[in-house]
């Protein structure tokens, strides 16, 4: 019967949870996937969920986190919004996953060639998309190495890439600013927080270890 991770999820540390994700992504990149016994796992978790990781990712159809990290049903609590924005509702969802479900690590994951990032780079405001752009704008403003206004747009791949990395950091900061629950869990080492960017071409998830709280 499929059981993963082998460690007791209650005693699992944030570092151990990150290791499971790293190993899963390596399998995904190399197209070596674990055999997932969906039927047995589905039966095991029908009454209670206990994800070991929470991911705030983008809604992009190419960024399904369970596939990228080669995990099964019930392993990852996934919150997905365009631009991986830490809206108040997204933050509340992540709080639920750590405070009530016992997730050990929070990953805020952007990805290359992100449409929401491109829209923010072009200051798009149509429809309800403007609310998303407003939360990405600080990342556009944070990018200071591309100075010429003529280069600060979605067709400049380097600019888009840099804004993407800034956005992950901005959403992490926003989550900490509005969540006393998560800040307390980080201080007590019950939960870890790390940013990441998924590369659509290589399949590799690049984790920002230097700015992680684990």
Take residue 133 and report the two structure tokens written for it: 């752009």
pLDDT value at position 35? 75
Take residue 6 and report the two structure tokens written for it: 């082998």
pLDDT value at position 38? 75
Query: Residues with Cβ < 8 Å from 205, sequence gap 6 or more?
Result: 21, 25, 68, 69, 109, 196, 197, 198, 199
pLDDT value at position 4? 52
pLDDT value at position 63? 98
Strand 205-207 relative to strand 192-198, pairing: antiparallel
Q: What average pLDDT is seen over the chain?
A: 93
CATH homologous superfamily for the domain 14-211: Carbonic anhydrase (3.40.1050.10)
Q: Sketch the domain layout of the chain as residue ranges.
A: 14-211
Phi-psi region of 204 (alpha: psi -120 to 50; beta: other; left: phi over 0): beta
Regions of the chain where pLDDT drops below 50: 1-3, 5-6
């Amino acid at each position: 019967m499929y059981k993963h991770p082998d460690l007791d999820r209650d005693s699992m540390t944030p570092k151990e949870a990150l290791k499971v994700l790293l190993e899963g992504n390596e399998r995904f990149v190399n197209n070596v996937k674990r055999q997932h016994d969906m039927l047995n796992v589905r039966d095991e978790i029908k009454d209670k969920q206990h994800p070991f990781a929470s991911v705030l990712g983008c809604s992009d159809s190419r960024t399904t986190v369970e596939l990228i990290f080669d995990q099964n049903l019930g392993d990852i609590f996934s919150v997905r919004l365009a631009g991986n924005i830490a809206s108040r509702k997204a933050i509340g969802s992540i709080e639920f996953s750590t405070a009530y479900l016992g997730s050990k690590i929070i990953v805020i994951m952007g990805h290359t060639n992100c449409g929401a990032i491109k829209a923010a780079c072009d200051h798009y405001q149509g429809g309800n998309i403007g609310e998303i752009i407003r939360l990405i704008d600080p990342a556009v403003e944070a990018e200071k190495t591309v100075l010429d206004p003529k280069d600060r747009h979605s067709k400049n791949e380097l600019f888009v890439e840099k804004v993407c990395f800034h956005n992950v950091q901005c959403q992490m900061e926003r989550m900490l600013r509005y969540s006393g629950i998560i800040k307390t869990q980080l201080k007590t080492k019950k939960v870890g927080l790390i940013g990441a960017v998924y590369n659509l071409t290589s399949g590799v998830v690049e984790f920002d270890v230097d700015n992680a709280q684990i």
